[in-house]
Amino acid sequence: MAPEARDVVVVGGGAIGLSIGWRIAAAGLTVTIVDAAAGSGSSAAAAGMLAPASEAHFGETTLLALNLASAESYPAFVEELEDTSGLSAGYRRCGTLVVARHSDDGAQLIRLHDFQKAHGLDVKRLRSRECRELEPALAPSIRGGLLASGDHAVDNRMLVVALLEACTRSGARLHDGRVTEVRSGDGGRVTSVDLADGESMPCGAVVVAAGCWSGSIEGVPPESVPVRPVKGQLLYLRGPAELPLASRNIRSLDVYVVGRGDGRVAIGATVEEMGFDTTVTAGAAHALLRDTIEILPGAAELELVETVAGLRPGSPDNAPIIGATEIEGLTVATGHYRNGILLTPVTADAVAELVVNGKTSDLIAPFGPARFAAGPGT
Ligand code: GLY
């Protein structure tokens, strides 16, 4: 590797950028992570469900394999992160129960279960009584469900705080700023980044991990980062820690409820094409509460403690965009859409392998930016 390629700038300090920065710094390269508000963007607005099986979608088989691989690597990733940072990431092996509210939901869950079984996923169909034996707070009216015992959760905010600490302890530098342009030299290789305050930062490699803002950086080929913001609103409720609403992640087809282990539950989330708007609306709060109380009536008694809106980086095919671009030294890791927290370990390891050793792992090969070469609408 040319000496200058050892100076890496990571654009974006969310879970993806921080985990990449941590991994690359741990491999001995010089890393600067640039973000004006590291750790407080979309990663802090997520719910932290790690649910490849219960959130499997028809037609997304390649993405399912990546999601499963990342879920499998979570325990080891968290252990290493906690060792390095000295902080808990709030990983909970809780499982997920998806419930049907009526017979239409029931029919959809049967189709989902067929898809899950066809892909060898560990998901079991349960009757209503069996669901309520597992989770007594569920409404008596629910019509059965699917238990995904391997779908867990992480406290995404604790994860990000631990990643910030791990970055610092591994020698990565955090720079408070905003990258406006990636510059390349005559040879077509990355040479520096420009910041909004006029500073220029020389570097030999750049990783763009700026979520839905990745497409607004000059010098990054637009077809490599066809991302758009997809708004998600989420609420936090709080009850007594000793009397949790549920011990598993609970979801219906419309809402999910993720416990934090301290009496708080995150309930989410809307999926809205609203550009960069992050207003929390009364209608969304109403719908989230209504849908939650329908399956977990006891939620009505909890305190509403926080409302949040974040922006997922959506891509044209809902899959992440991870890999080298046509510009030498420029890598992208964005477009994680609804799976940013879940895909953090696999993205970090694959991008570190690419930046440090120049190798594209088989896992991320289908997700390179070249698949959009014919245009962002493909
Ligand atoms: N993965 C959950 C969400 O994006 O709302």
Q: Kindly give the number of the ligand 1 atom that is closest to the alpha carbon of 342.
A: 1
Number of independent structural domains in the chain: 2
Share of the chain above pLDDT 70, in %: 97
33 lines ligand 1 (CB under 6 A): no
Candidates 14, 1, 332, 311; CA nearest to 22 is 14
Pairing of strands 30-34, 173-175: parallel
Assign residue 302 the CATH number of its domain: 3.30.9.10
Assign residue 31 the CATH number of its domain: 3.50.50.60
132's tokens: 């309520």
Are residues 321 and 215 both part of a single domain? yes
Please report the pLDDT score of residue 375 as a whole number.
61
Please report the pLDDT score of residue 4 as a whole number.
61
Pairing of strands 264-268, 256-259: antiparallel
Are residues 201 and 250 both part of a single domain? no
CA 36 to chain centre: 19
CA 272 – ligand 1 centroid, Å = 12
Question: Domain range spanning residue 281?
Answer: 95-151+228-314
Please report the pLDDT score of residue 6 as a whole number.
84
For residue 245, tell me if it sits in a domain: yes
For residue 327, the 8-state DSSP code is S
Candidates 335, 342, 283; CA nearest to 311 is 335
Please report the pLDDT score of residue 373 as a whole number.
80
For residue 53, tell me if it sits in a domain: no
The residue written with tokens 């979309």 in the block is 42
Please tell me the distance from the alpha carbon of residue 179 to that of residue 319, in angstroms, as a whole number: 24
Are residues 294 and 323 both part of a single domain? no
CA 74 – ligand 1 centroid, Å = 17
336 lines ligand 1 (CB under 6 A): no
Q: Kindly give the number of the ligand 1 atom that is closest to the alpha carbon of 234.
A: 5
CA 261 – ligand 1 centroid, Å = 19
Please tell me the distance from the alpha carbon of residue 101 to that of residue 324, in angstroms, as a whole number: 45
For the chain, list residues with pLDDT below 70: 1-5, 374-378
Are residues 146 and 232 both part of a single domain? yes
338 lines ligand 1 (CB under 6 A): yes
Share of the chain above pLDDT 90, in %: 96
Candidates 315, 303, 116; CA nearest to 211 is 315
For residue 273, tell me if it sits in a domain: yes
Residue nearest to ligand 1 atom 3, measured at CA: 338
CB 354, CB 348: distance < 8 Å: no
336-377 pLDDT per residue, tens: 999 999 999 999 999 999 999 999 999 999 999 999 986 645
Are residues 144 and 199 both part of a single domain? no
For residue 189, the 8-state DSSP code is B
266 lines ligand 1 (CB under 6 A): no
β-partners of residue 50 are 152
Please report the pLDDT score of residue 378 as a whole number.
43
Q: Kindly give the number of the ligand 1 atom that is closest to the alpha carbon of 340.
A: 1
Residue nearest to ligand 1 atom 5, measured at CA: 269
Are residues 327 and 310 both part of a single domain? no
Instruction: Give Rg (Cα) of the chain.
Output: 21
Residue nearest to ligand 1 atom 4, measured at CA: 338
Which residue, of 297, 314, 331, is where some domain finishes? 314
